[in-house]
C-alpha cells in the first residue's frame, strides 16, 4: 500500500522522555521518520517538536489515536497534518502588485506547496493578473460598511474552499471579529522596520530622515494592527546615495521575499504559536 507523508507538531510542558516517547510511537506504527526538529524553551519550560514522517494512512490513524489518548495526561497540544491535502489560500490585495506577482510566480515554479484559490481586492486594477495565472478574481469594494465587506469575504472563502488568507499589501484594516474567526490563518506583510514612519508613503518619510536600514515583518493578523505574532523578518542596508525611487524598490523587494518566506514556513507547518509568541522549527 502507498505511503503518505505527514507532519506532526507538538508542544507541551517540558519533561523527560518526550523525544524518545514520540519516536517510539512512530516506530511502533511503522512510520519512517524523514526529519525531526525539537526545541525546549527553558525560560517558559515548554517543549516543541516537528516531525516529518511517511507511513500508510491506517498507521497515521493509529498514531492519531495514541496522541488523543495521552494528550490530556501530558498537557499536550498537537496537530497531525496530511501533506497530500494541499492548502488553498486566498490572496487579498489593493493596488500594489509586487507581493502578488511574487507569490503567484513562486507557486508556478513549485516553491510554495499550496494552491491559490482566489484573488480578492478592493480595487479592480489587478483583475487581469488573476486571468493571466488562472486564479479567480473577486472585487469587494471598501466604500461600504466593514461588516458587509467581511460577510462577502466569508462567502468567497466558503465558495473557493479556502483554508487561509495572505494579505499581499491589502490596504484595509480587518475587524477584531474577522481576525479572531480566522485566528492564525491570516498572514500579513508590514514595513515593520519603519516604526517611526506611519501613514502615507512611509518610504518617502524614511528617505527624508536619511534612514540607514529598512526591513519588513510578516506576521499573523490580529485585532491589533501590525502587532500579531511574527513569522519572518528581514532587513537590508540602504546606500547613502539611494534615491527615493531606489529606496522604494529596495522596500518592495524585501517585502515580497519576507512574505513569501513566511507563507512557505506556514505551509510547511514550521510555525508554532505559544501565548502570542512564535517559535519556528
Which residues are identified as catalytic?
226
Residue that is written with C-alpha cell 507538531 in the block: 9
d(CA 178, CA 167): 13
Assigned C-alpha cell, 72: 490530556
Neighbouring residues of 37: CB distance < 8 A, sequence distance ≥ 6: 49, 50, 51, 281
d(CA 116, CA 106): 11
d(CA 157, CA 167): 14
Residue that is written with C-alpha cell 460577510 in the block: 151
d(CA 178, CA 245): 35
Neighbouring residues of 257: CB distance < 8 A, sequence distance ≥ 6: 102, 234
DSSP-derived pairing of the beta strands 164-167 and 186-190: parallel
Amino acid at each position: 500500500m502507498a505511503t503518505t507523508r505527514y507532519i506532526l507538531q507538538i508542544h507541551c510542558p517540558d519533561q523527560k522522555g518526550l523525544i524518545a516517547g514520540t519516536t517510539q510511537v512512530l516506530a511502533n506504527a511503522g512510520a519512517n521518520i524523514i526529519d525531526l526538529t525539537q526545541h525546549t524553551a527553558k525560560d517558559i519550560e515548554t517543549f516543541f517538536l516537528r516531525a516529518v514522517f511517511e507511513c500508510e494512512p491506517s498507521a497515521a490513524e493509529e498514531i492519531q489515536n495514541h496522541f488523543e489518548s495521552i494528550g490530556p495526561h501530558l498537557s499536550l497540544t498537537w496537530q497531525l497534518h496530511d501533506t497530500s491535502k494541499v492548502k488553498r489560500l486566498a490572496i487579498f490585495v489593493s493596488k500594489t502588485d509586487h507581493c502578488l506577482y511574487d507569490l503567484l510566480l513562486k507557486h508556478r515554479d513549485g516553491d510554495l506547496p499550496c494552491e491559490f484559490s482566489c484573488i480578492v481586492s478592493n480595487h479592480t486594477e489587478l483583475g487581469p493578473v488573476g486571468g493571466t495565472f488562472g486564479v479567480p478574481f473577486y472585487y469587494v469594494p471598501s466604500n461600504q460598511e466593514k461588516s458587509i465587506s467581511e460577510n462577502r469575504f466569508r462567502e468567497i472563502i466558503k465558495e473557493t474552499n479556502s483554508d487561509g488568507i495572505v494579505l499581499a499589501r491589502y490596504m484595509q484594516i480587518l475587524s477584531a471579529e474577522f481576525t479572531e474567526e480566522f485566528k492564525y490563518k491570516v498572514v500579513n506583510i508590514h514595513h515593520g522596520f519603519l516604526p517611526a514612519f506611519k501613514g502615507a508613503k512611509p518610504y518617502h518619510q524614511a528617505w527624508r530622515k536619511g534612514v540607514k536600514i529598512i526591513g519588513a515583518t510578516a506576521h499573523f493578523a490580529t485585532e491589533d494592527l501590525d502587532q500579531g505574532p511574527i513569522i519572518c523578518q528581514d532587513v537590508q542596508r540602504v546606500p547613502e546615495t539611494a534615491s527615493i525611487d531606489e529606496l522604494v524598490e529596495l522596500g518592495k523587494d524585501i517585502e515580497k521575499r519576507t512574505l513569501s518566506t513566511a507563507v512557505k514556513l506556514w505551509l510547511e507547518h514550521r510555525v508554532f504559536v505559544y501565548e502570542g509568541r512564535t517559535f519556528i522549527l
